[in-house]
Amino acid sequence: MPIVSIEDVIKIYEGKVTHRALDRLSFDVEEGEFLAVMGPSGSGKTTLLNLISGIDMPTSGRVLIKGTDPATLRPDDLARFRRRELGFVFQDFNLLRMLTVEENIVLPLTLDRLPVEEMDARVKAITARLGLGGILHKRPDEISGGQEQRVAIARALVHRPSIVLADEPTGNLDSNAAREVLDLLGTINRENRTTFIMVTHDPIAASYCDRVLFIKDGAYYNEIHKDDRRRTFFQRILNMLSLLGGNVDDLSSVRLP
Amino acid sequence: MTFRQFAYRNVVRNRRIYAAFFLASVFSVMVFFLYSMLMFHPGIGEQFITGITLIGMTTADIILYVFMLFFLFYSMRAFMQARSGEFALLLQLGMERRQLGKLLLLEMLLLGATSTASGIVLGFTFSKYFFMIVRELLQLSALPLYVSWEPFLMTAGAFFSLFLLIGLLSAYIVANRDISEFKKGIGGEANPFGYSPGRAAAGILLLLSSYGAALLAGRVNVLYLSVLLPPAATLGTYYFFSHSVLYLLDLFRDRKSLYWKRSRLVSLAETAAKLRDNANMFFIVAIVSTVAFLSVGTLASLATYTAQYRALNPLGLVYESFPGNPHEYEHVTGLMKELQTAGLEYTHVPLTVAREESSFSGQPINILREGEVNRLAETLGAGPVNLRPGEAVFLPYSKEAAPRLKDADIRTELEESGVDVHVKGVVGGLLLPAYSLGTNSIVVSETDFVKVASVQPGNLLRIHAFDVPDWEETVGIGLAIEQAMVMSEIQQGEALPFYYKNPGLDYSIIRSTFHLLLLTGLLVAMVFLLAAGSFIYFKLYTMLDRDRRQAAVLKRLGMTEREFIKIVNRQLIPQFFLPWGIAMLHSTFAFISLQAIWKEFADISILNEMALVLVGFTVIQLLYFYLIRWRYLAHVKGPA
């Protein structure tokens, strides 16, 4: 049974100009899969993430996560659902500026009222693994972008969610930091069997995934699966992107992995 | 689009940012205008629009002006900080610094012109009501509305020059900065973790010791305290907001079991950040609120003074005739006639007073006659005294003096007449207030009085006491005598051989003056309040983007709506009520010391008035808090 299934989802934004962000989109994500979603600007990638996390409700169709439709939950249950099942990684990290690194990481746990010893243990474990031990008491302003994103990842993982949603996690990082972050995500995906759904523009980032889903104008366009060598997988992603068209400047400058 | 249109649109389209600022400015212009209307009233100098009214209004206007100067300057800096990103963009687009300065000046002038005009229009609209209230307070027969150019010109000139000054200042500041400075943001976000432990401790110590000293007031030298306390408390308050609060929060942060608990993590850290960011403003708000509470409270307590006035002045009218006064008969019959014409009931009790030196104290002492004092006591409903020759009782000069004199037991010789008297006990009740006789008076028996009086028959004082049940109605009685006394005082001529006192008239003047000052103080306090609130609102508004982003992150991390509102509450409450609470504490302790000082003068309890003032302000603040929380929540949760 897929952990996430999107069934014929349509999302229409009413406004001065009615905008159809998602158009009968359907796909499944298996447990433990690392999925990349690609598409030109305005193709509905971020809308998709918002629907999966229950921030937004579909106009028609259904989103099922572990068999639950977030649209049917009451607001408090939805919040509880998010804090237990989902983790978020953002493009601009979105660490809370007034909290230290440690406090940022522990934040999702405090919401769930865990005992302090448990929280301490979990923070210790995750920070050791992500190599953040030395900067626990620094503020977000005092660390580098790559470190900030690693802190954000620690925050997304500390409560052991089943699905992590990442919105352009490497968009604000230089190539070295980006590679580190992607390696990290890949390792966690393999070792913890955590499901990742990552929205990205970057073909390099996408080449770290098991499967890449392409959407265009809110509709399913195509998908390709990983093969043995990342270099050829990367080349196939590039080919698909050029087929997809869209704005060329959306693509980050080509860097080989 | 011309340059001027650009400036205009900048303001009009940012109206939500400027709304609270505009409101505070308009209100203060309005109050300023109302005071000016009264200052320039053609009826001033006549009736009872006395010098005090004029002084009160002028002072209030000056306070308003100075306060607005600070308020505008501070707001302007906050605006510039909020818009520094926009300025950087404009400079990068190729705008000259001079042009940017001109833009700011134009915007400020536009804001100034509109708020001054609206304030004056509003003020003129409400001036009729304002005059009605003033007329009621001053108990004038009429206070007609008038139209004259002076108040308009003064208000417009004062405020326009103010806005011009601030506009020029901001133009100057902006012309002397680099793009990179704008990008960083003027001032920038302060480090929420930074504080100095030494100053944190100093803040707490200064405040505690000031409070302690305030409690001891009355026992320690009052002058000493009044010089030392305000600066100490002010410095303490400053350190408290900029260091001590952060220190206390940090103590809390070290205890994970308390701190790592649900939404507390975010709300405490957020509180610390906002407090640190706005420490200066909170300090100003706390001090301004303290001053406002204190002035209103003091004025309110002066108003109670009038309530106790009657107790101090049991008689309707008092006319004292010194030896050799040719006008005595004429004046007294005149007063009686006037009372009759006014239709007021009265009882006339003449008293004869001799004055001799007491061998006991070496001081002059007033000697009154048993029969006459008993008549007066009967009129005022007090018990009579019964004296045998050689006996005497004290005539207390105030309620408080009576119990002290009661236990006195003195034998003394009246030196001029050589009469020995044994003074023991007091006359029941207060018959003659202190001003008419001074503090040292005794009543002797008829026999002794005749002896005393016969020694110096030409040197006797006559007091004509009038008991008037409707004593508040005596405002117009004896104006001619009053006039003569005022004239002689002005001309510094010879001392008059008579003294006249009309407590009803004095009461009405004291009462109305205090009430007028109270009204003035209340309006000024309202301006302070509105300005402080508008500042908090503005600060919240400038941080809105950041707060909104943060709210979105927290929502994704799985924070429930309820927890989010709790966070907002926890960060708004300190912003509203911490400066408030400190101001309350300050004023409470200041009142306690004031009460102690007050007691030395007039023995008046100001507790009730103070409580009323503090409660009233708290209610207004609560309303304000809910209003702004409502707006803030709507904005933060709303679409970006």
- Give the closest of B193, B561, B563 to A111, CB-based: B563
pLDDT band at A254 (very low <50, low <70, confident <90, very high): very low
Mean pLDDT of chain A: 86
| pLDDT tens-place string over residues B179-231 | 666 655 444 444 545 678 888 888 899 989 888 887 776 666 666 777 788 88
The Cα B551–Cα B568 span in angstroms is 10
Contacting B residues, span 491-510, partner chain A, CB-CB under 8 Å: none
Q: Clarify whether residues B609 and B472 are in a common domain.
A: no
pLDDT recorded at residue A249 = 46
The verdict on a CB contact (< 8 Å) between A110 and B261 is yes
**Which residue in chain B is spatially nearest to A99 when comparing CA positions?**
B269
Q: Clarify whether residues B412 and B478 are in a common domain.
A: yes
Q: Clarify whether residues B11 and B160 are in a common domain.
A: yes
Mean per-residue pLDDT for B157-173?
89
The verdict on a CB contact (< 8 Å) between A99 and B555 is no
Put simply, whether B184 touches A (Cβ < 8 Å) is no
In a domain, B452, yes or no: yes
Q: Clarify whether residues B325 and B306 are in a common domain.
A: no
pLDDT recorded at residue B51 = 65
Mean per-residue pLDDT for B62-66?
84
The Cα A30–Cα A11 span in angstroms is 23
CB A181, CB A15: distance < 8 Å:
no
pLDDT recorded at residue A251 = 47
Beta bridge partners of A19: A13
Q: Which residues does B3 contact at the CB level (< 8 Å), separation at least 6?
A: B99, B102, B103, B106
Pick the residue of A56, A78, A111 with the most B CBs within 10 A to test the interface with B by mutation.
A111
Q: Which residues in chain A have their CB less than 8 angstroms from residue B264's CB?
A: 110
CB B333, CB B552: distance < 8 Å:
no
- Give the closest of B266, B272, B561 to A107, CB-based: B266
Q: What are phi and psi of B45, to 5 degrees?
A: 90, -30
**Which range is least confidently modeled, A73-82, A176-185, B299-308, B394-403?**
B299-308
Burial of B575: CB neighbours in 10 Å, binned 0-12, 13-18, 19+: buried
**Which range is least confidently modeled, A215-224, B46-55, B58-67?**
B46-55
Mean per-residue pLDDT for A191-202?
90
Q: For the domain with range A2-245, which CATH number is right: 3.40.50.300, 3.30.1020.10, 3.30.720.200, 3.40.720.10?
A: 3.40.50.300
Measure A227 CA to nearest chain B CA, in Å: 33
Measure B274 CA to nearest chain A CA, in Å: 9
Residue B176 has pLDDT above 70, yes or no: yes
Measure B126 CA to nearest chain A CA, in Å: 44
The verdict on a CB contact (< 8 Å) between A79 and B273 is no
Q: Which residues in chain A have their CB less than 8 angstroms from residue B549's CB?
A: 94
- Give the closest of B272, B550, B560 to A75, CB-based: B560
pLDDT recorded at residue A199 = 92
**Which range is least confidently modeled, B27-36, B156-165, B236-245, B258-267?**
B258-267
Q: Where are the domains of chain A?
A: 2-245
Put simply, whether B257 touches A (Cβ < 8 Å) is yes
Helix (H, G, I), strand (E, B) or coil at B601: helix
Beta bridge partners of B467: B347
pLDDT recorded at residue B592 = 78
Check residue B486 and give left, alpha or beta (phi > 0: left; psi -120 to 50: alpha). Answer: alpha
Q: Clarify whether residues B345 and B493 are in a common domain.
A: yes
| pLDDT tens-place string over residues B283-305 | 877 887 787 777 777 777 666 66
Which has the closest alpha carbon to B466: B478, B458, B455, B456?
Answer: B478
Measure A110 CA to nearest chain B CA, in Å: 5
Q: Clarify whether residues B103 and B171 are in a common domain.
A: yes
| Domain limit, last residue, from B133, B157, B189 | B189
The verdict on a CB contact (< 8 Å) between A97 and B559 is no
Measure A53 CA to nearest chain B CA, in Å: 7
Measure A99 CA to nearest chain B CA, in Å: 6
A-B Cβ pairs (cutoff 8 Å, strict): 81
Q: Which residues does B36 contact at the CB level (< 8 Å), separation at least 6?
A: B57, B61, B150, B151, B154, B155
Q: Clarify whether residues B353 and B421 are in a common domain.
A: yes
Put simply, whether A90 touches B (Cβ < 8 Å) is yes
| Domain limit, last residue, from B189, B214, B243 | B189
The verdict on a CB contact (< 8 Å) between B558 and A82 is yes
**Which range is least confidently modeled, A178-182, B177-181, B364-368, B382-386?**
B177-181
Put simply, whether B270 touches A (Cβ < 8 Å) is yes
Put simply, whether A106 touches B (Cβ < 8 Å) is yes
pLDDT recorded at residue B183 = 56
Measure B179 CA to nearest chain A CA, in Å: 21
Residue B551 has pLDDT above 50, yes or no: yes
Mean pLDDT of chain B: 79
| pLDDT tens-place string over residues A58-76 | 999 999 998 888 888 888 8
Number of domains in chain B: 3
Range of the domain at B171: 1-189
- Give the closest of A55, A97, A103 to B555, CB-based: A55
pLDDT recorded at residue A253 = 47
Which pair of tokens denotes residue B229? 């306390």
pLDDT recorded at residue A256 = 45
CA separation (Å) from A144 to A172, B181, B312?
A: 11, 22, 77
pLDDT recorded at residue A255 = 46
The verdict on a CB contact (< 8 Å) between B261 and A119 is no
pLDDT recorded at residue B538 = 76
What is the rounded (10 degree) CA torsion for A13, A14, A18, A19? 0
Mean per-residue pLDDT for B452-474?
80
What ipTM was reported for this prediction?
A: 0.78
**Which range is least confidently modeled, B49-63, B313-327, B579-593?**
B49-63
Q: Clarify whether residues B307 and B323 are in a common domain.
A: no
Residue A173 has pLDDT above 70, yes or no: yes
Mean per-residue pLDDT for B478-486?
79
The Cα B225–Cα B223 span in angstroms is 5
| Domain limit, last residue, from B137, B162, B189 | B189
Pick the residue of A16, A96, A151 with the most B CBs within 10 A to test the interface with B by mutation.
A96
Exposure on the CB side of residue A63, measured as CA atoms within 13 A: 23
Put simply, whether B553 touches A (Cβ < 8 Å) is yes
Mean per-residue pLDDT for B540-548?
78
pLDDT recorded at residue A37 = 93
Pick the residue of A98, A107, A138, A153 with the most B CBs within 10 A to test the interface with B by mutation.
A98
- Give the closest of A83, A94, A116 to B256, CB-based: A116
| pLDDT tens-place string over residues B465-475 | 888 877 777 77
The verdict on a CB contact (< 8 Å) between A90 and B261 is no
Put simply, whether B269 touches A (Cβ < 8 Å) is yes
In a domain, B198, yes or no: no
Q: Which residues in chain A have their CB less than 8 angstroms from residue B556's CB?
A: 53, 55, 82, 86, 88
In a domain, B550, yes or no: no
Query: What share of chain B has pLDDT > 70, as a percent?
Result: 88
Contacting A residues, span 152-171, partner chain B, CB-CB under 8 Å: 155
The verdict on a CB contact (< 8 Å) between B558 and A76 is no
Helices (H) and strands (E) in chain B, counts: 24, 9
Query: What share of chain B has pLDDT > 90, as a percent?
Result: 5
Measure A122 CA to nearest chain B CA, in Å: 13
Q: Which residues does B86 contact at the CB level (< 8 Å), separation at least 6?
A: none
The verdict on a CB contact (< 8 Å) between B192 and A98 is yes
CB B341, CB B356: distance < 8 Å:
no
